Structure 1
Amino acid sequence: MKTIEQLTNVEKAKIIFDLFKSEIPAFLEYAQAIADKVSNTQEELIPNWNNPFLSYHQWLSLATTVNDTVSRKRNSLVKSANVFAEQLFAGYLAIFSNHCLEQYGLHKAQSAKFARAISLFYLPVQPADNNSNQYLVLEMQGGAEYAGIVTDVDGNNRVFENREDAEAEAADCQDGLVVAI
């Protein structure tokens, strides 16, 4: 069982895909729109570029590659978690794809649960009062591509008020993973 910090970009993307498959087409459109903006607003972006790790031209290259991949493989990207994750979230492309996913989760997500999942997997952890944490348990069921949130008998997501109860539930799961929310 891996912690969230131990999951790779590809594994996180597979989980997101499997949990929120209906969001993927809109996310791909959003990623292409961001890539188009990077490409079409060079005069505006270059003078204000202040990323010390990537030049604008490196960012443009990543954006162009993601845009081309989505254009060429859209049908496969919306049908397969493996294709989605491996084509967009492996290697250096993950830098641009993760950025798009974070922005989509913050500003465009159709589902509040999707936005929370993106926040959980990708955004920095905010310090919280230990007494106010709640926990979900993900059952990996043999791999990230099969992950699901543990539910009660009525099919509702189980939310645990203390970590010990969540860890006990995770121990009863196949590859259980405790996630603070």
Structure 2
Amino acid sequence: MKPIDKMTNRDKAELLHGLFPEEIPAFTDYVKRVCLTIKENEAEERAKGEHGIIGFDFWLQMVNNTERRIDRYGEQLHTWARLFADQLFDGQNALLMQYCLKLYTGVRKHDNQTFTDMVGVLFKTDKIQ
């Protein structure tokens, strides 16, 4: 295993899946709901201007891409850690996924404290804006 400071977002997502496979179905369902909420409230989300230098249009592109991937791979994402990591945490899409992890474990006050702690360690969710 790589040292944590040498791990990519994909590596971290694969490890998280491997450690907590029972959490993945609920998390991917949550991500779909976040994507839907962002799309349904596009005007409000766009007006917030909270997406930094990437801009809302790019953010919306990531939302649509993530939603398509979850629809396409469905339950396979729950079973295969590598697929979960490759499809949802690759490249810039990891920005949206880190945002969702922060909401899922922080704002939502997740029940599994060990999962929440591991998300914080792996993705440093306290640093995500």
What is the TM-score when the length of structure 2 is the normalising length? 0.89
Match of 2:95 in 1: 95
Larger RCO of the pair (alpha carbons < 8 Å, separation 6+): 2
Does the CA contact (< 8 Å) of 1:17 and 1:24 recur in 2?
Answer: yes
| Counterparts in 2 of 1:124 and 1:99: CA distance versus 1, 3 Å | closer
Q: CA deviation at 1:124?
A: 5.8
Q: Which residue of 1 aligns with 2:124?
A: 123
CA RMSD of aligned residues (A): 1.7
Partner of 1:66: 66
Identity value in percent: 26
Q: 1:44 to 1:124 in 2, by over 3 A?
A: closer
Unaligned runs of 5+ in 2: none
Aligned partner letter, 2:68: D
Pair 40,21 (structure 1): closer, same or farther in 2 beyond 3 Å = same
> What's the secondary structure of 1:110's corresponding residue?
coil
Q: Distance in 2 between matches of 1:8 and 1:115?
A: 19
Greater CA radius of gyration, 1 or 2? 1
CA distance in 2, matches of 1:57, 1:125: 25
Corresponding residue number in structure 2 for 1:114: 115
- Identify the residue that residue 34 of structure 1 maps to in structure 2: 34
Partner of 2:75: 75
1:102–1:123 contact (8 Å) kept in structure 2: no
CA offsets per residue over residues 31-86 of structure 1, 9 Å max, x none? Answer: 01111111110121112214332111110110111111111111210010010000
In structure 2, the partner of 1:171 is: none
CA distance in 2, matches of 1:116, 1:15: 14
Listed as ranges, the matches of 1:1-181 within 5 Å are 2-106=2-106, 107-123=108-124
Deviations 1:86-122 (A, max 9, x none): 0101112111112112221222533111001001111
My pick for the range that moved more, 30-39 or 108-117, is 108-117
Larger proportion of helix = 2
TM-score (norm 1): 0.65
